């Protein structure tokens, strides 16, 4: 991507590419807040449908983006903007899918059910990367092969929207809706709980829990992306391994 969206003769192209990649992480908390609120207000299914649409359209647009050689500096600017929208989408989708799975799970198996959301992401990376490395030479991949996964993503998204549209709402959310409509006690306490259930209210009441969750997630995320992005490029740049050797080695480490 650094060769495609930045000047080929730039010594900092790879660093700029990492920065653009990071933009998607900056906006993830916003996606979790906004789409989490939508999930609590209108249902988990609604939030998950919105998030997959928000992810698929920007992803498809990346496959259509002109390169730096075509439109110059606008290429990385457009890419960074798209990454921000992707971050919002995944910020809501990742946490929303876990909530959906946990709320469908038996009480004693919530951890087991919830972990499948985290399992799906690296599995997709493994399958997609393996397929691309098997089907394209490095030259073909740089010319047109890199666009195909982004373009094909729209097909996967349509299938995903259909699946999510057919999903049943969780009993936990359906129960809240029933209580909210029929219980006088729930109506009388609505004003009292509004502040406590707001984003700032949750931060204030559950500061330690949120700090623990962020720390654990940060640890796993750093390890995962160090292997997925940095270490792979380090092997190639230092010529410790070929591109394919670096791919298979870092993939093995990522799953061990």
CATH number of the domain within which 117 lies? 1.20.1250.20
220-227 contacts: CB < 8 A, separation 24 or more? 224/122, 224/254, 227/253, 227/254
**Secondary structure (3-state) at 239:** coil
Number of structural domains the chain divides into: 1
Could you tell me the two tokens for 71? 């439109």
Instruction: Classify residue 95: in a domain, yes or no.
Output: yes
- pLDDT exceeds cutoff 90 at 50: yes
Instruction: Indicate the length of the chain as a whole number.
Output: 256
Tokens 């654990």 appear where? 216
Instruction: Classify residue 232: in a domain, yes or no.
Output: no
Rg (CA), the chain: 21
Instruction: Classify residue 23: in a domain, yes or no.
Output: yes
List the single range of 24-38, 50-64, 82-96, 195-209 with lowest mean pLDDT: 195-209
Output the pLDDT for position 84: 93
List the single range of 38-52, 185-199, 228-242 with lowest mean pLDDT: 185-199
Output the pLDDT for position 175: 64
pLDDT in tens, 141-179: 888 888 998 998 888 889 989 988 888 887 777 666 555
Helices (H), 136-189: 138-140, 147-165, 171-182, 184-188
Instruction: Classify residue 102: in a domain, yes or no.
Output: yes
Instruction: Classify residue 251: in a domain, yes or no.
Output: no
Q: Please give the DSSP secondary-structure letter assigned to residue 107.
A: G
Instruction: Classify residue 163: in a domain, yes or no.
Output: yes
Instruction: Classify residue 49: in a domain, yes or no.
Output: yes
Q: What is the distance between the alpha carbons of residues 23 and 1, in angstroms, rounded to a whole number? A: 15
Q: What is the distance between the alpha carbons of residues 34 and 44, in angstroms, rounded to a whole number? A: 13
Instruction: Classify residue 176: in a domain, yes or no.
Output: no
Which residue range(s) make up the domain with 30?
A: 2-169
pLDDT in tens, 79-114: 999 999 999 999 999 888 888 988 888 888 888 888
Average pLDDT for 177-203: 57
Q: What is the distance between the alpha carbons of residues 180 and 170, in angstroms, rounded to a whole number? A: 16
- pLDDT exceeds cutoff 50 at 224: yes
Give phi and psi for 105, each to the nearest 5: -85, 155
Average pLDDT for 9-32: 87
Q: What is the distance between the alpha carbons of residues 88 and 152, in angstroms, rounded to a whole number? A: 21
Output the pLDDT for position 256: 63
Q: What is the distance between the alpha carbons of residues 121 and 125, in angstroms, rounded to a whole number? A: 6
Decide: 89 and 31 in contact? Cβ < 8 Å.
Answer: yes
Q: What is the distance between the alpha carbons of residues 210 and 215, in angstroms, rounded to a whole number? A: 8
Q: Please give the DSSP secondary-structure letter assigned to residue 108.
A: G
Environment class of residue 191 by beta-carbon count within 10 Å: exposed (0-12), middle (13-18) or buried (19+)?
exposed
């Amino acid at each position: 991507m650094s060769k495609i969206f930045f000047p080929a003769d730039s010594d900092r192209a790879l660093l700029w590419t990492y920065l653009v990649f990071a933009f998607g992480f900056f906006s993830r908390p916003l996606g979790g807040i906004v789409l989490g609120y939508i999930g609590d207000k209108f249902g988990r299914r609604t939030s998950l449908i919105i998030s997959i649409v928000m992810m698929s359209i920007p992803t498809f647009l990346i496959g259509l983006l002109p390169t730096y050689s075509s439109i110059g500096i606008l290429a990385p600017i457009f890419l960074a903007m798209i990454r921000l929208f992707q971050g919002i989408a995944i910020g809501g989708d990742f946490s929303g899918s876990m909530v959906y799975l946990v709320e469908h799970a038996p009480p004693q198996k919530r951890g087991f059910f919830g972990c499948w959301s985290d399992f799906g992401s690296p599995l997709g990376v493994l399958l997609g990367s393996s397929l691309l490395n098997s089907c394209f030479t490095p030259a073909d991949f740089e010319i047109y092969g890199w666009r195909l996964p982004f373009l094909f993503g729209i097909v996967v998204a349509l299938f995903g929207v259909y699946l999510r549209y057919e999903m049943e709402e969780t009993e936990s959310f359906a129960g809240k809706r029933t209580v909210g409509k029929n219980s006088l006690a729930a109506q009388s306490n609505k004003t009292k709980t509004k502040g406590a259930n707001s984003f700032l209210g949750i931060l204030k009441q559950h500061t330690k829990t949120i700090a623990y969750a962020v720390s654990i997630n940060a640890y796993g995320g750093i390890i995962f992306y160090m292997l997925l992005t940095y270490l792979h490029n380090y092997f190639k740049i230092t010529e410790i391994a070929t591109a394919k050797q670096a791919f298979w080695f870092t993939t093995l480490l990522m799953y061990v």
